[in-house]
Amino acid sequence: MADIKTFYLPDLGEGLPDATVVEWHVKVGDSIKLDAPLCAMETAKAVVDVPSPYTGKVTKLHGAPGDIIETGAALADFEPDPNAKQRAEAESTGHHHGPKKSVGSPVADDRKVVASDEGGEVEETTAAREDEGTVVGAMVSGSHVHVEQAASIGGVRAVPAVRALAKKLKVDLARVRPSGADGVVTMKDVKDAAANGSAALGAAPARAVPASAGRHLAPELPQPGHASQEPTRTATSLAGKPVRTAPPSQQAGGQPEQLKGVRRNMARVMADAHAQVVPTTLVDDADLHAWIGKQDITARLIRAIVFACKTVPALNAWFDGKNLSRTLHPHVDIGIAVDTDDGLFVPALRNADVLDTAGVRAAIKRLRTQVEDRSIPASELSGYTISLSNFGMFAGRYATPVVVPPTVAIVGAGKLSHDVVAVIGGIEVHRRMPLSLTFDHRAATGGEAARFLKAMLDDLALPN
């Protein structure tokens, strides 16, 4: 009887309890070599290739694209080739299942697998650790940086994040013209192909359909005895646009959708924050009437937060509720909330206290670009000391932003408005910015929070 080996999903180095299958690079019956790409897996922070732990034949795949696999659960079965050299059982392979780490902690991991700007994947190690088995592949702890080249699959060279983007945008990678070094397909190549439609997956000639065609389609009649299955009917409004109607007996429809990747992690983090933090929110309005000329609103917000952190250090801190200890930070790393279709990302604007306006703008632009194309290093999504949610760019005046442990505070900036303000001798119309400050009342007093908010208001009131 053939010797069948089961490969279990390792901890991908991010302390998360599961990952989602993006794409299998093999099928049952295929032969694969040791460390060749087996599949692409998506976590809350990155899309990474999982290499094969054996040379041999694939006998079973535990999951289809889109399925969620728990860390430590079976991923694939192999029949190792008895004539091929296999990795020794006792050799450090990176496939050991180390103890799970707490979810949502900015300091949970000191080693990350990240996507580099060049399209490869980089393993960053900041300190030696006892467990060498939290990252997939034959990697050993140390202070070196290991770079994986883009894998060639089906004749196309691309990293997992690019393949995931192509699948999401329904782009056929085989039809994309690569612009990267050595014929590697880049994020930009995929986005360009999606924009111009030159490499649509399974593309077929489009057939024009008159806008009025739907008005003359007879609705499908329900079958006798199946009133609950009455179909949705199509009608037209007085403006001539199609509208959807349904009989009163038909309930609202919709299929449950399993949360994956970023949204799945967001749900966990928010639930943990709700359970652990004692939040209190203060609100006020910053008066921007004295501003001279056009100014970068986000940069001014960042500057005001930095000034407030220096004035009241208690809110630029981490709090350990279990041990009742806090850490005050001399530097200011601001987590900037970025909303995407995939969910919420919070990249860290490092050393905001030493950046000028141009530096802040350049850093934010870089972070947003990396978030959008999923190339942001995992290390940049944790370790911030305070957070900012600039939701006012969409709508809303005040809010109760969520403080994510171990941070102590988060600032919410609302939509700018022109308000009537009472002044000596009459009234004036001033431009104002609503501010909301949520803080963990276990770690900071109401007075400290009020002084922090006052410092922000004072800095934002300055002409420039």
Strands 111-115 and 68-70: unpaired
Whether 329 shows a pLDDT value over 50: the answer reads: yes
Question: Which of 40, 44, 23 lies closest to 371 in space, CA to CA?
Answer: 44
pLDDT at site 351: 96
Higher-pLDDT residue of 358 and 188 is 358
pLDDT in the model for residue 334: 97
Per-residue model confidence (pLDDT) at position 127: 38
Lowest mean pLDDT: which of 120-124, 146-150, 351-355?
120-124
Cα radius of gyration (the chain) = 27
Range of weakest confidence among 184-188, 294-298, 397-401:
184-188
pLDDT at site 150: 62
Euclidean distance between CA atoms 71 and 69, whole angstroms: 7
pLDDT at 120 over 70: no
Report which listed range, 192-196, 357-361, 370-374, is most confident: 357-361
Most confident of 148-157, 236-245, 247-256, 305-314: 305-314
220 vs 179, higher pLDDT: 179
Spatial CA neighbour of 403 closest among 449, 370, 353, 361: 449
Quick check: 238 pLDDT over 90? no
pLDDT at 97: 42
Q: Is the pLDDT of residue 240 over 80?
A: no
Q: Tell me the CA end-to-end span of the chain in Å, nearest whole number.
A: 78
DSSP secondary structure string for all residues of 385-400: SEEEE-GGGTS-S---
Structure confidence at residue 256 (pLDDT): 85
Q: Could you tell me the pLDDT band of residue 121, with boundaries at 50, 70 and 90? A: very low
Amino acid in the structure at residue 170: K
Q: Mean pLDDT highest for which of 177-191, 216-230, 302-316, 370-384?
A: 302-316
445 phi and psi angles, rounded to 5 deg: -85, 165
| C-alpha span between 221 and 246 (Å, rounded) | 13
Q: Which residue has the tokens 């439609």?
A: 197
Instruction: Render 75-126 in DSSP notation, one character per residue.
Output: EEEEEE-TTS----TTS--S---PPPPPTT-TTS-SEEEEE-TTSSEEEEE-
Q: Scan for tokens 């009455």, then name that residue.
A: 230
**Closest to 6 (Cα-Cα) out of 99, 69, 85:** 69
Best mean pLDDT range from 71-75, 90-94, 129-133, 315-319: 315-319
| DSSP secondary structure string for all residues of 179-192 | -SGGGBPPHHHHHH
Predicted TM-score of the model (pTM): 0.61
Write down the pLDDT at residue 170: 83
> What is the residue-wise DSSP string for 328-363?
E-SS--EEE-EEETTEEE--EETTGGG--HHHHHHH
Cα–Cα distance list, 195 to 200, 317, 368 (Å)? 10, 44, 20
Q: What is the mean pLDDT of the chain?
A: 80
Pairing of strands 68-70, 426-440: unpaired
Residue 201, pLDDT > 70, answer yes
- Of 16-20, 352-356, 393-397, 428-432, the range with the lowest mean pLDDT is 16-20
Strand segments (E) across 133-241: 146-148, 151-153, 156-158, 233-236
Q: Is the pLDDT of residue 66 over 70?
A: yes
Q: Taking Cα atoms as reference points, which of 439, 340, 454, 434 lies closest to residue 387?
A: 439
Does the structure show a pLDDT above 60 at 282?
A: yes
CB 76 within 8 A of CB 21: no
List, for residues 369-379, the tens digit of each pLDDT value.
888 888 888 88
Tell me the mean pLDDT in the region 266-276: 91
341/344 Cα distance (integer angstroms): 8
The backbone torsions φ and ψ at residue 53, rounded to the nearest 5 degrees and listed phi first, read: -85, -5
Query: What CA–CA distance (Å, rounded) separates 115 from 123?
Result: 9
pLDDT (mean) for 458-462: 98
Q: What is the pLDDT of residue 19?
A: 87
What average pLDDT score do residues 12-34 get? 86
Asked if residues 410 and 389 have their Cβ atoms less than 8 Å apart, the reply is yes
Q: What is the pLDDT of residues 431-449, one digit of tens each?
A: 999 999 999 999 999 999 9
Per-residue model confidence (pLDDT) at position 18: 85
> Would you place residue 266 in the very low, low, confident or very high pLDDT band (cuts 50, 70, 90)?
confident
CB 411 within 8 A of CB 322: no
Whether the pLDDT of residue 145 is over 70: the answer is no
Share of the chain above pLDDT 90, in %: 47
How does pLDDT run across 405-429, given as a tens digit for each residue?
999 999 999 999 999 999 998 999 9
pLDDT confidence of residue 321:
94
Instruction: Say what the pLDDT of residue 316 is.
Output: 98
pLDDT (0 to 100) of residue 239: 64
Higher pLDDT, 439 or 67: 439
State how far Cα 77 lies from the chain centre.
30
Number of Cβ within 10 Å of residue 428's Cβ equals: 11
Residues 6+ away with beta carbon under 8 Å from 299? 357, 360, 361
More confident residue, 321 or 122: 321
Rounded average pLDDT over 353-369: 94
